[in-house]
Amino acid sequence: MTTSDLLILCAAGMLVSAYLMVGQKALFTAIRLYGVQSLLLGIVTVTTAVSESRPELFVTAAITVVLKAILIPWFLMRLIDRIGIHREIEPFLNVPASLLVCLGLTVVGYRVSTGFPGGAQGVSHHLIGVALSMLLIGLFLMVTRKKAITQILALLTVENAVFLVAVGVTPGMPLVVELGIAFDIIVAVLLLGTLVRRIVDRFESMDVSRLSKLKG
């Protein structure tokens, strides 16, 4: 298997994980899917680092795997264990319809990716296409789901998509910036987790569609 095959395979795997997340109601599985997605992102990063001999990408890969494939999923699982809510309720749009919408979003993502320099062919076409599709799917998840945890996962999927773009079309962000971004993301997830716990304590539910007192 050549390097580009591996890259395309991993990118495809990330897209599949995003689709599975859309079709999934058990929160534990959704979190695991996010973990797998981040792991695949890590593999994409390592492969790029080796094939294009960009050693600084190893650090990015290490951050990705430790933070997003291990720490964040672990934190989120502990969180739903504590609050004892394990399933997503009926989303605003049912699963078959959601998957059809996501299919359309993927087409849009791939269409846009052809505008990039060298985007019409080769590996970067797939990386950008997948990344933009994941971005759109993440946004879609965010507006159609009610559970706070699913919204966090949708946000993190969007974040993964951004990082895939970064690996796919740039020579890697500067390391200081990369570290700063990683720090910010982990703090954001911690804060989101704290807020979820406070919301559950208060409303005895993490159904964010109940947060609807503030209008006008």
Partner 1 sequence: MNLLVWTLTVPLVTAAIGGLGGPRKFKEAVMVGGLLLTFALCVATARAFLGGAVPAAFGDALRVDGLSALMLVLCGYVGLLSATYGVGYLRRNEARKLVTPRMRREFYGLIPAYVFAMLLVSMSNNLGIMWIAVELTTLASVFLITFHDKDTSLEAGWKFLVLGSLGLAFALLGTVLLFAAGQGHLGEGMAALNWTHFMQAAPSLHPFTLRLGVVFALIGYGTKAGLAPMHTWKPDAYREAPSPAGVLMAVGMLNGALYCLLRIHLISKAALGPAFSGDLLLMLGLLSVLIATPFILVQWNLKRLLAYSSIEHVGIMAVGIGLGGEAAAFGALLHMTYHSLAKPVAFFSAGTLAQLHSSSNFDRIGTGTFSRAPVASGLLVLAALMITGSPPFGLFFSEMTILKAGFFSAHVTATSIFLAALVVLFCGFAFQIGGIVLGPPRDPKDRRVPQPEQFDVAMVTAIVAAIVAIVSAFYLPASLLALIHAATQVVWGSA
Query: Binding to partner 1 by residue 55, rule CB under 8 A?
Result: no
Of 188, 205, 207, 209, the one binding partner 1 (CB under 8 A) is 188
Of 75, 99, 169, 207, the one binding partner 1 (CB under 8 A) is 169
At residue 63's C-alpha, the angle toward residues 157 and 76, to 5°, is: 50
Closest approach, Cβ 154 to partner 1, in A, equals 9
Query: Binding to partner 1 by residue 158, rule CB under 8 A?
Result: yes
Of 135, 141, 149, 153, the one binding partner 1 (CB under 8 A) is 135
Closest approach, Cβ 1 to partner 1, in A, equals 27
Rounded CA-CA distance 49/59 in Å is 10
Closest approach, Cβ 207 to partner 1, in A, equals 12
Rounded CA-CA distance 143/22 in Å is 12
Rounded CA-CA distance 62/49 in Å is 12
Query: Binding to partner 1 by residue 177, rule CB under 8 A?
Result: yes
Of 122, 174, 204, 209, the one binding partner 1 (CB under 8 A) is 174
96 CB contacts (<8 Å, ≥6 apart)? none
CB 150 within 8 A of CB 88: yes
At residue 79's C-alpha, the angle toward residues 136 and 94, to 5°, is: 40
Query: Binding to partner 1 by residue 9, rule CB under 8 A?
Result: no
* 123 half-sphere exposure, CB direction, 13 A CA radius: 20
Segment interacting with partner 1, rule: CB under 8 A, options 23-31, 80-88, 94-102, 179-187: 179-187
Closest approach, Cβ 8 to partner 1, in A, equals 19
Rounded CA-CA distance 71/20 in Å is 21
Identify the helix (H) or strand (E) that includes residue 24: none
Segment interacting with partner 1, rule: CB under 8 A, options 40-48, 83-91, 103-111, 173-181: 173-181
Q: Closest Cα partner for 81 from 73, 89, 91?
A: 73
Rounded CA-CA distance 149/14 in Å is 19
The footprint of partner 1 on this chain (CB under 8 A) covers a number of residues equal to 43
The binding site for partner 1 (CB under 8 A) comprises 112, 115-117, 135, 139, 142, 148, 151, 155, 158-159, 161-162, 165-166, 169-171, 173-177, 180-181, 183-184, 187-188, 191-192, 195, 198-199, 202-203, 208, 211-214, 216
